[in-house]
A and B are shown apart, each in its own frame.
Chain A
Amino acid sequence: MKMFRLIGLVAGLAITMPALPQALNEGQGHPLKGVWLGDWGTDKDKRNPVTIEMDWDGKAITGSINPGPDAAVFTKAELDPSNWTVHLEAESKGIRYVIDGKIQNLGSLRRSIVGTWSEGNQKGSFKITRH
């Protein structure tokens, strides 16, 4: 199982990494747009790497968790600009993801989103940083 996750992560990075050099100097548009790397876990010693890719077409936020063959595509994605909170929902292979967080250091290209992460029946914390 761990090997599959590793392969998925490598595949995801292979897809998203080409976009990184250009994305580094961008990020002044919609605050969620870009590639975000980080981890989530049920406690501080048990962390799982995650990659989230998000885009903005002027009307809706689209994207997925761990892009690649096992990507969990967003079924719902919302940003509340009054307090910069983010709500994401995704589903893949019967596993439902619910992510609630808040953007930190909004003006920085290396801004982060921090909050709670639910994956199936597990719940923990997460932090992802825009790259």
Chain B
Amino acid sequence: MRDHWISKFAIAESVAVLTAIWGVPSLIAQTALTAQTGQQGSGGERTKAGQPARPMPPIPRLSDGTPSLGWVDPAYKGVWKPVRLRDYADLLVERKEEGLPFQPWAKALYEYRIKTEQKDDPESLCLPPGGTLATVNRTASPWEFLQMPEQKRIIRVFEGASHMWQVIYMDGRPHPQEAYDLPTWMGHSIGHWEGDTLVVDTVGFNEGHWLSTMGAPRTNLHHLIERFTRTNYNTLRYEATIDDPGAYTRPFKIGWNIAWGYGQELVEIVCTENNQYPNLFPDEDTLLKQLQRKP
């Protein structure tokens, strides 16, 4: 599968090119800085063009006071832009030295998938990933939150995979029995706020996909709790507790930071079109020429 065109650029190179051409953006430079450090800029940073960096905007909030996990001011629009993270063992936030707590069959299957270079990865067949794999899919495709407090639900829209979305019910309902009886790719998600952290509880996954692109398996007993915290405008802290007694000996927690893709919008990708979407975009050389022509 070819990469998303924007991912062909290293962040620093993109900042350098765009800054040199337009002499701006400071916020783009800060996005890169934040992605690298996970810290909000103090305002003292400078772009490569030597211009002072514009102060990072505060975390936006909705009228009910909850943090916006997207954007409110169109001038600062964007999407969350994951990077490729293949092995969850590297992302463990507790008991890292023990590695993933596989059951014996799960460990053997994981090793088989590594040995066979993930040739059977369902995502390579355009099957939709769910759970943590939707957040960090193999193509590092961006996604965004659409918060609708008046409807007491939050929608997560994913650019990659199979044109997916996830409904997170915020109205206090429990998981219905149907979620377990009729498991689905994305499962059934309910959410609530703990301070400024969105906590999403999902059950009812089918067994159509893997837990990680490296090949860690999951079963329909998978219970996922995800925590999303916007630590500054450009950074989303993501932590996931994976409780799958079908494949693992105990629950475990993984986490990482996700960077804001400043100025980006989601585009249509339909994997089932034989993956032709990269042809919609110019290659790197053409893109650079276009950028250089821009006034």
Contact = CB atoms under 8 A, between A and B. Distances in A.
Contacts of A33: 207, 219
B206 interface: yes
Contact of B220 (A29, A81, A82): A29
A28 B122 CA distance: 9
Contacts of B150: none
B245 A58 contact: yes
Nearest to A107: B120
A31 interface: yes
Interface string B108-121: 11001100100110
Contacts of A26: 206-208
A31 B206 contact: no
Contacts of A106: 109, 112
Contacts of A107: 112-113, 116, 119-120
A57 interface: yes
Contacts of B127: 25
A27 B207 contact: yes
Contacts of B255: none
Grouping DSSP codes into helix (H, G, I), strand (E, B) and loop, the B interface class, with mixed when no group exceeds half, is loop
B107 A29 contact: no
Given A81-B107, A82-B108, A58 B246 contact: yes
A54 B218 CA distance: 17
A89 B78 CA distance: 58
A25 B103 CA distance: 23
A92 interface: no
A37 B42 CA distance: 65
Contacts of B122: 28
Contacts of A31: 105, 109
Given A25-B127, A29-B218, A58-B219, A81 B109 contact: yes
A5 B105 CA distance: 35
A56 B103 CA distance: 13
B266 interface: no
A54 B208 CA distance: 17
Nearest to B109: A31
Contacts of A56: 219, 246
A108 to B, nearest CB: 7
Interface centre among A28, A79, A82 (most CB of B within 10 A): A28
A22 B207 CA distance: 10
Contact of B208 (A28, A30, A79, A81): A28
Interface string A44-83: 0000000000001110000000000000000000010110
B67 interface: no
B294 to A, nearest CB: 45
Interface string A21-41: 010011111110100000000
Interface string B206-234: 11111000000111110000000000000
A26 B219 CA distance: 10
A25 B113 CA distance: 18
Interface in B103-148: 103-105, 107-109, 112-113, 116, 119-120, 122, 127
Given A30-B219, A82-B108, A107-B113, 4 more contacts: A30-B217, A84-B108, A107-B119, A108-B120
7 contacts: A22-B206, A26-B207, A28-B122, A29-B207, A56-B219, A58-B246, A106-B112
Interface of A: 22, 25-31, 33, 56-58, 79, 81-82, 84, 106-108
Interface of B: 103-105, 107-109, 112-113, 116, 119-120, 122, 127, 206-210, 217-221, 245-247
